[in-house]
Chain A
Amino acid sequence: MAWNDRILGIVTLLYLFLFFIHILYFALRKEQIMKFMWVTLYVTLGLHTLGLLLRWVESYKLGLGHAPLSNFYESLIVYGWSVSIILIVMKRHLSFPIITLIASLISLFLMGYASLSPSVQRHIQPLIPALQSNWLHIHVITCFMAYASFVISFIAGLLYLVTWKGIIPPRDTLDEINYRSIIVGFPLLSAGILTGAVWAHYAWGSYWSWDPKETWSLITWIIYALYLHARLVKGWKGKKIALVSILGFLSVIFTYFGVNFILSGLHSYAT
């Protein structure tokens, strides 16, 4: 078993552990537990990064030599990694255990799905000619950072619809968190789409070909643009705007998973 697999296995267990820390917090309500949770999250992110770097190094040993951004397995691992990074970037606004609890569950799901699903190819595969470009790194990272920000927006939008005293943060705060995560995610998604377009120009001869992935990323972009205008220009608040953000995330999920499984196109290598 390669080292990257072992470390990423430990990382998966750590996301499970993070979930239990949250449960412990809700049982005992001691602030120290949350401090410990953040420290554990930093350690998890550190190991997660190390796992990705080792996979990169090991790909060179196999004579393939490429960043771990090339297939569905690697994209799931990078997605989980991006969620942790966004949590830490937005830490100041996310001092609500229920949000980090759901985020750690989502990371756990991504990592677990990557390592357990029989349909996911886990070994390091060679990079097909279309992906041999430096645009790969910036395109994939910006896209997944955007997807990760939208995870936070989704959690805030979903919690907005739920009432559970003492667990769910105040509604205004959720609204603010939702907005903040979208203003992080929206520019990143724009950057992801644009770097993809520039890359497509150099690889395929056309910056926009209405490939299903491209089209769905545009649909996602439009939904979040509508969110921003509804909120900033029309002053939408509350349930309505929370529903728009949930719709946006459904579109993200379709862009990421749905297009790969249901529609076929240029992006069929599943990143």
Chain B
Amino acid sequence: MSVIKNKFEGADKGSSQGLSHSIYSFLASIRFTVLLLSMIAVGSIFGTVIKQGGSAEEYLSLYSENTYRLITLLGLDDAYHSLWFYGLIMLFVVNLSLCTMGRFSRFIKDSKRRPHLPDERTLLDMEMHFEMDFKAQDEMNYPAASHEVSKAGQNRENLLGTNSEVWTRGAIMRSLEGTYRCVYKETEGAVLEKGSLSRYGVFVIHASIILILTGGFAGTMLGYKGYMVLRKGESKDQALIRGAQEKAQPLGFALKCKDFKVTFYPGGEPKDYVSTVEVIDNGRVVLEKKIRVNDPLSYKGIHVYQASYGKTPTFLFNIDGENVTLKEQDTYSKGDLLLMVVRFENTVHNFGPGVLIAYLDNGEPKTSWFLRDVERLRGKQLQGVNIRLEEIKEDLYTGLEISRDPGVWIVWTGFAMILFGLYINFFMYHRKIYVRKGSKGIIVAGTALKGRDAFKQEFAKIKGNLNGMER
């Protein structure tokens, strides 16, 4: 029907308006929704099949050079953040908004129309209807009836002048009013309904999807995701944001790792990672918390999560009788000696843990291994200075994930709304019952748009109850 209407309007208003109108109606059409959702689905598949965020070497080891060029050209190495993916989502938001608004304005127009009582013929044509013959009503019922009706607060004069028709209708209304709400009443009859909330389901669901996407967008624009590595005792006031070039993100406060512990199950599987962290704001410790995997720290809108852990070695050297503790990349100088700790290795040619030292031999750079478990290689003389590796200690460090997401509450609201919307849309049914005086008796008829089978059963039950009341 809408197609015919569009064609008619297009012909009436001239071709330029017709074009913009047809673009609009395409943007708002369900066909466009189907197209967009299918494209989003297919685009998402690419992202699960092709490795995301890998380095050039990684891709070239998997694909040919041409394929790799195509992958980077289409942004398939970071599909979910590529321009075309954002474009699809933006178009989807536009489409969903237009589609929903169009539907909503039609809905408002429809609901502004006063509910009316269809005529006898229409009601008798409805699939679900029955008639109650008030003329066959037993006269004996009258005393009981007058009691019933006056209890319901009806006008006594009306009662005296009435016949069984009014009584029957009143009784029908009363028996329905427990579950149904009367929305319209006239001398000939009434309209009752229930579950009218379900008609809003679609709008609630669509609005919440837009809300969730808005929240996600707000999060990407205004928030960040980074990480921080802390050794025991260390404190930092900025997170690092991953990327081709890492960026520092000041937090506005500092985190100090007081302790980090890993516990294991008897079988050796990890049981718990716990970082004890102090929040230092303006030089004062304001908060101390044990951060665990499912138990993040939140402070000033910033969340800190337990993400990983690792070990960093520290080396205790005895240099000319003096104890010196060095870490990787540390430098040390004494007299003519200038040395740097290059790297640690857990096993050096099966000889156990060792550390590689670089030093200047008369201005020329040289390296030498110090092995903890080999006595001959544990102590050496470099530039006339005696150096002995006393001990290697491995300190645990904690890897914390740090994020700020101001959009998260919008997303949560959207989540709650969509579940509510799905519930009222699929598990509440809008049902209408008409009660009308007809030529042969009182007509009771019902309509439902969804869940017709269930309504048929309910309607049969209503019929049964009313027939029981008659006797």
Contacts and interface: CB of A to CB of B under 8 A. Distances in A.
A206 B422 contact: no
A133 interface: yes
Nearest to A188: B422
B81 to A, nearest CB: 9
B401 A204 contact: yes
B44 A219 contact: yes
A72 to B, nearest CB: 16
Contacts of B453: 176
B289 interface: no
B245 to A, nearest CB: 21
A219 B41 contact: yes
B343 to A, nearest CB: 29
Contacts of B305: 203-205
Main secondary structure of the interface of A (DSSP, over half): helix
Nearest to A225: B37
A190 B52 CA distance: 26
A215 interface: yes
Given A197-B415, A198-B412, A234-B30, A222 B37 contact: yes
B52 A233 contact: no
Contacts of B13: none
B176 to A, nearest CB: 24
A132 B294 contact: yes
B401 A126 contact: no
Nearest to B274: A129
B303 A205 contact: yes
Contacts, number: 102
Nearest to B49: A263
B225 A206 contact: yes
Contacts of A222: 37-38, 40-41
B294 A202 contact: yes
B44 A205 contact: no
A218 interface: yes
A240 interface: no
A176 B308 CA distance: 50
A215 B48 contact: yes
Contact of A64 (B45, B47, B265): B265
B48 A263 contact: yes
B273 A205 contact: no
Contact of A218 (B44, B306, B307, B422): B44
A226 B38 contact: yes
B411 A129 contact: no
Contacts of B56: none
Nearest to B453: A176
Contact of A215 (B44, B271, B293): B44
How many residues of B sit at the interface, in one of the four size bands?
A: 35 or more
A76 B443 CA distance: 54
B414 to A, nearest CB: 9
A126 B269 contact: yes
A225 B422 CA distance: 12
B227 to A, nearest CB: 9
B41 A210 contact: no
Contacts of B216: 208
Interface size class of A (residues with CB under 8 A): 35 or more
Contact of B422 (A128, A186, A197, A199): A186
A207 interface: yes
Contacts of A130: 293-294
A129 B307 contact: no
Nearest to B262: A129
A216 interface: yes
A183 interface: yes
A125 B269 contact: yes
Contacts of B37: 222, 225-226
A214 to B, nearest CB: 9
B208 to A, nearest CB: 10
B415 A126 contact: no
Contacts of A114: none
Nearest to B454: A92
A263 B45 CA distance: 11
A185 to B, nearest CB: 10
A46 interface: no
A260 to B, nearest CB: 12
A126 B267 contact: yes
A174 interface: no
Interface string A176-212: 1000000100110011001001110111111110101
A201 B408 CA distance: 9
Contacts of B415: 194, 197-198
Nearest to A199: B294
Given A202-B296, A204-B305, A215-B47, A210 B80 contact: yes
Contact of B52 (A128, A194, A210): A210
A201 B426 CA distance: 28
Contact of A219 (B45, B266, B402, B423): B45
A156 to B, nearest CB: 16
A259 B48 CA distance: 9
B456 interface: no
Nearest to B209: A225
A229 interface: yes
Contacts of A126: 265, 267, 269, 271
Nearest to B52: A210
Nearest to B45: A219
10 nearest CB pairs, A to B? A129-B293, A187-B422, A133-B294, A205-B305, A126-B265, A212-B48, A205-B401, A205-B403, A183-B426, A194-B415
7 contacts: A63-B266, A125-B269, A129-B292, A187-B423, A194-B419, A203-B293, A226-B38
Interface of A: 63-64, 125-126, 128-130, 132-133, 135, 176, 183, 186-187, 190-191, 194, 197-199, 201-208, 210, 212, 215-216, 218-219, 222-223, 225-226, 229-230, 233-234, 259, 263
Given A129-B271, A129-B273, A259-B48, 5 more contacts: A187-B426, A190-B419, A205-B401, A210-B80, A215-B45
